[in-house]
Amino acid sequence: MNQIVASISDKLLHQEYVKRFTLKAGEELCDSSVVYRHLRAYFTRNLDREKLVVVYLNGRNAHIGTEVIFEGTLTSSAVYPRELVKKVLKYGAAAIILAHNHPSGRKEPSEDDIGLTKKIKFLCDLIDVQVHDHLILYGSGFTSFVSKGLL
């Protein structure tokens, strides 16, 4: 039995964790704490790397899908807004929620975080897609751009 368990890869275990403990397609997202609980599973691997995750929503704010779209280093992640827009269109999303982590534990968004969010919001406005929020996950909590008046 121990050999069987030992032979299961971390990646496979993480995929199973995400499948079991995140929102299913069609479930509605009503507030940032629900989004935070959903997103925690996406930030349980490679905790020393910054990641950008996007939650895709339909017109009723129901979950279509969630994916890590960029992964970087301890302090940055190369994000290409054009690639994000392509994914939004692929999913047919009416709205998105952005999330990224700060492995350093920093709670506040950086100037780069704010600038990138503004750029993504501008591009999404052009294609009639709402950006509902951008969450920063750190340690055991999160910061919402909306609650800070940044979005």
What domains, with CATH codes, occur in the chain? 2-144 (3.40.140.10)
Distance of CA 59 to the CA centre of its chain: 19
pTM: 0.82
**pLDDT band at residue 14 under the 50/70/90 scheme:** very low
Q: Which residues neighbour 142 within 8 Å (Cβ) at sequence distance 6 or greater?
A: 32, 36, 99, 135, 136
Contact (CB, 8 A) for 41 and 16: no
pLDDT digits (tens, 9 = 90+) for 66-113: 999 988 766 666 778 889 999 999 999 999 999 999 988 889 999 999
Q: Residue 96 corresponds to which tokens in the numbers above?
A: 């998105």
Highest mean pLDDT among 4-13, 28-37, 86-95, 104-113: 86-95
